[in-house]
Amino acid sequence: MGVPEPHEQGEDCLNLTITTPGVDDRSRPVLVWFHGGAWVSGAGSWKFYGGHRLAREGDVVVVSVSYRLGVLGYLRAPGISEGNLGLADQLAALRWVRENISAFGGDPDAVTVAGQSAGAHTVQCLLGMPDAEGLFRRAVVQSSPAALGLGSARSARKAAERFLTRLGADPRTVPVADVLDAQTALAREAAGRLGLRAVPLFRPVAGVGPLPDAARWAACLAGRAPGLDVIIGTTGREMSAFYALNPMLRRLRRIPALGAATADAVERVAGTALFDRPSRRLAARLTEAGARVWTYRFDYAAPASLFGATHCIELPFLFGTDADWTTAPMLAGADPHDIDTLGRALRTAWLSFIRTGTPSTDTPWPPFTAAAPAVRHWHP
């Protein structure tokens, strides 16, 4: 994605960034956006996630959510934090939208939730969260690490133990900078000697706060599905964002004959396991329960980019402005005409979905079914 504009990092982060065509009584559809960043980075206020083009082209209100991250948002440790505080922040944001968005020209009864990566996982959680009932009508799930499931108490406990050992002090009394330093050191350690383990330590955990246990989540999702419209998709090379610059894999690619093919296979297998296959399972599960679902694969690859159709590659086509993405490595060598043409088509589809529950495209995009699991491929 490149380097975002600098923001002050702090715990006073429960903020919304609202972009609206007009503060009036037009009752426009609302898009609530949850950013990604592996639950440890990002901000809804980044220019990357600006909603100006969507608001202008579709006459909708865009709300981008900031929430607590990392240890401060997802540590589960008795006496310190129950866990899922970041998820509780996101639920609070939806409640705020329900109560207040009409003052910003939005319709609280026409809310679509959308997210990418960790933000997409948030949307998955919301789909089966009883406390989120009535807070949204439609959902867009972009590149969710769906294989992580809802998170287990065991993994949360182990992560907390490792963090507290690394910190070596009471996180309630030490400076926040020490908490973040320990978090960073632990993340490097958890990535392993080869740096290939990309699973975040601090993330939502089932059965804590607003997130029910797996069985209740599944029951809630099944009960809600008949009234849901959902878009679910991935990119062509999800794991290149994590593996393309990995030193071990780069050395492997230099080995004659099978080196590059082996490195590609490692990346492909990891992407299929973490993103692709579980996303299709989620689509099938929702469809079987009665939801209307559309699936996609975003295949655009900039010609001079090392990353190809990588994780996050669809974001410049939806959010921000061209100027905000000019230095993004994943867009190296991109043809501005391709960016403009594909961006307008993608935004048209998403805006149609936000307004009507059906994505409108220039080529047929039938709903996903078990018998015909249609996938819309996005490329110039």
Q: Which residues are catalytic?
A: 117, 238, 311
Structure tokens at 250: 């780069």
Contacts for 226 with CB less than 8 Å, ≥ 6 apart: 289, 290, 291
Handedness of CA 143, 148, 153, 159 (dihedral sign): negative
Rounded to whole angstroms, how far apart are CA atoms 341 and 78? Answer: 52
Q: Are 144 and 279 in contact (CB under 8 A)?
A: yes
Q: In what order do the strands lie in the sheet with 138-142?
A: 16-19, 61-65, 28-34, 106-116, 138-142, 229-235, 292-298, 375-378
Q: Are 362 and 349 in contact (CB under 8 A)?
A: no
R_g (Cα) of the chain, nearest Å:
20
Contacts for 256 with CB less than 8 Å, ≥ 6 apart: none
Helix (H) / strand (E) containing 288? helix 277-288
> Between β-strands 138-142 and 292-298, what pairing exists: parallel, antiparallel or unpaired?
unpaired
Q: Are 132 and 290 in contact (CB under 8 A)?
A: no
Rounded to whole angstroms, how far apart are CA atoms 318 and 321? Answer: 9
Structure tokens at 26: 């037009």
Q: Are 345 and 51 in contact (CB under 8 A)?
A: no
Structure tokens at 12: 């006073």
Q: Are 172 and 11 in contact (CB under 8 A)?
A: no
